[in-house]
Structure 1
Amino acid sequence: MKAVAYNINPFEREFLAKANQKKHDITLIANQLSYDTINYADGKDAVIVYENGDMTTAIIEKLASLGVKYMVTCSAQMDTAKGEAKIINGIKIAHISADLLQTRTLDALQEIAVQTISNLDFWQQNKCLGEDCACAKDCKTILSRKN
């Protein structure tokens, strides 16, 4: 799966690379998701936004118009979703709790990276993300995600 990850700090790159194990083609961007950087998502299947991205309806609509089908978020702005996946403008959105991001412990950073790649893995295989899946009624296979 082709993905772009916005607002990735240098210390987060290593965690994502280890969790990914070269399975997905992920472009890492230090800049936040915004109208100025949204075009990096063109041609990508998924967008990863860890924090401080512009998650307005207009941005999500633009991502959908660029062909993005999936989004992994880990931000306080999206915490209102309380970890539940949603479908907005045709984009399946999985949310990782921002509590992990705010602690910034090594274990928390590793867990964020593992959950991010796990989401990409399941989506690439056309499988649900378990109980939190927004498409559970439509998916052929429902798998539980390890907590």
Structure 2
Amino acid sequence: MKIAVYSAQPYDRRFLGEACPPAAETVYFSDPLTLDTVALAQGCGAVCVFVNDVLDAPVLEALHALGVRAVLLRCAGFNNVDLGAGARLGLFMARVPAYAPEAVAEHALALVMTLNRNTHRAYARVREGNFALDGLLGMTLHGKTVGIVGAGQIGTAAARIFNGMGCKVLVSDPSPSPQLDGLAARVGLDELLAASDIVSLHCPLMDATRHMIDAASLARMKPGAMLVNTSRGGLIDTAAVIEALKSRHLGALAIDVYEQEASLFFHDHSSDIIADDLFQRLMTFPNVLVTGHQGFFTVEAMREIAAVTFANLACHLNGRPCANALPVSS
């Protein structure tokens, strides 16, 4: 089967190419999947897509009309997919539900450590011969309270990491993992926000979680706390976060995702004028750290993504049930 890989970067070509079975042929396009780029999938029986590709009803209908019968998501989130349209068209749709959850959890820790101890600023200073410590003061994480919002595999890995550092870990999740027993205390979201020195988000994006961090929830946070998001940008109301930073109620912000990232992330804009005013305002704060959705980006995670993607395809080709199939919505 021929597969059109959208939003393809050099590393996608490397890892998907290594894992591609003889029965499949991959063609790569750096363009994201939109209604304007559907035609690139002409002659393909499947498409392979990523987090910012558009999979709404018009796009899925256009793919189906071209003969595409399988949609392979090389990511865990599927908030960009019209599940009802996919079910109506009879499309096989599957994702990679968990890939090296420790990779994202470790990146959350890296963001916390970098922002807390100002190592990014210290690195720049020292390279200019400036060894002054003023402005680089951090806090000792041992003994601090870390709130984990969302206790799936990534949230559980994050809880394990912070627990090992001597932090008190609180978790808010409707269905927390039993693996958290002895690692974290289960509390409600309001209690978590009020008590935590660091709040780390590890939730899927859905209607119930969109802008879960808004003006009201920010006001309930402990003054001076740090907010970390390595999940989905839509969990945060960016305008409200900016106001909380300006008022100094929010002590620091570290994000690897951004609600309007589709037009920015995974591409080099160093010679462009970025027109997103909210993003540009965020970048003016010295207590804000942004990375470009790289939490998943480790060798181990990329290999697992490729392997599971092709395993999902094998289920489709052989007519077997797929444990990673997207839920059906009417």
Which TM-score applies when normalising by structure 1?
0.75
Residue 11 of structure 1 and its aligned partner are, at CA, apart by 1.2
Distance in 1 between residues matched to 2:317 and 2:38, nearest whole Å: 22
State the Cα deviation string for residues 16-72 of structure 1 (Å, max 9, x = none).
011114330111111100122111112211111022111111111111111111101
Distance in 1 between residues matched to 2:315 and 2:43, nearest whole Å: 20
Distance in 1 between residues matched to 2:35 and 2:27, nearest whole Å: 17
> In 2, are the aligned partners of 1:5 and 1:49 still within 8 Å (CA)?
yes
Task: Give the residue type in structure 1 aligned to 2:315.
Answer: F
Residue matched to 1:140: none
The number of equivalent residue pairs is: 130
Distance in 1 between residues matched to 2:319 and 2:20, nearest whole Å: 18
Residue matched to 1:67: 67
Question: Which stretch of structure 1 is more off in the superposition, 69-78 or 93-102?
Answer: 93-102
Residue matched to 2:317: 124
Relative to 1, partners in 2 of residues 1:104 and 1:79: Cα closer, same or farther, differing over 3 Å? Answer: farther
Residue 73 of structure 1 and its aligned partner are, at CA, apart by 1.3
Q: Secondary structure at the match of 2:87?
A: strand
Residue matched to 2:305: 112
Residue matched to 1:15: 15
Distance in 2 between residues matched to 1:18 and 1:76, nearest whole Å: 21
Percent sequence identity over aligned pairs? 26
Q: Secondary structure at the match of 1:33?
A: coil
State the Cα deviation string for residues 67-126 of structure 1 (Å, max 9, x = none).
111101135761588xxxx73521110022387674211111111100111112221222
Q: How does 1:24-35 map to 2 (within 5 A)?
A: 24-35=24-35
Question: Which stretch of structure 1 is more off in the superposition, 53-62 or 99-108?
Answer: 99-108
Q: Secondary structure at the match of 1:27?
A: strand
Q: Secondary structure at the match of 1:87?
A: helix
Residue matched to 1:144: none
Distance in 2 between residues matched to 1:74 and 1:11, nearest whole Å: 13
Residue 133 of structure 1 and its aligned partner are, at CA, apart by 4.4
The structure 1 segments of at least 4 consecutive aligned residues displaced by more than 2 Å after TM superposition are 74-77, 97-102, 131-135
Larger Rg: 2
Relative to 1, partners in 2 of residues 1:12 and 1:52: Cα closer, same or farther, differing over 3 Å? Answer: same
Task: Give the residue type in structure 2 aligned to 1:34.
Answer: T
Distance in 2 between residues matched to 1:77 and 1:89, nearest whole Å: 21
Distance in 2 between residues matched to 1:94 and 1:132, nearest whole Å: 5
> In 1, are the aligned partners of 2:45 and 2:67 still within 8 Å (CA)?
yes
Relative to 1, partners in 2 of residues 1:45 and 1:58: Cα closer, same or farther, differing over 3 Å? Answer: same
Q: How does 1:36-47 map to 2 (within 5 A)?
A: 36-47=36-47
Residue matched to 2:55: 55
Distance in 2 between residues matched to 1:99 and 1:79, nearest whole Å: 18
Relative to 1, partners in 2 of residues 1:10 and 1:41: Cα closer, same or farther, differing over 3 Å? Answer: same
Q: Secondary structure at the match of 2:307?
A: helix
Relative to 1, partners in 2 of residues 1:73 and 1:132: Cα closer, same or farther, differing over 3 Å? Answer: closer
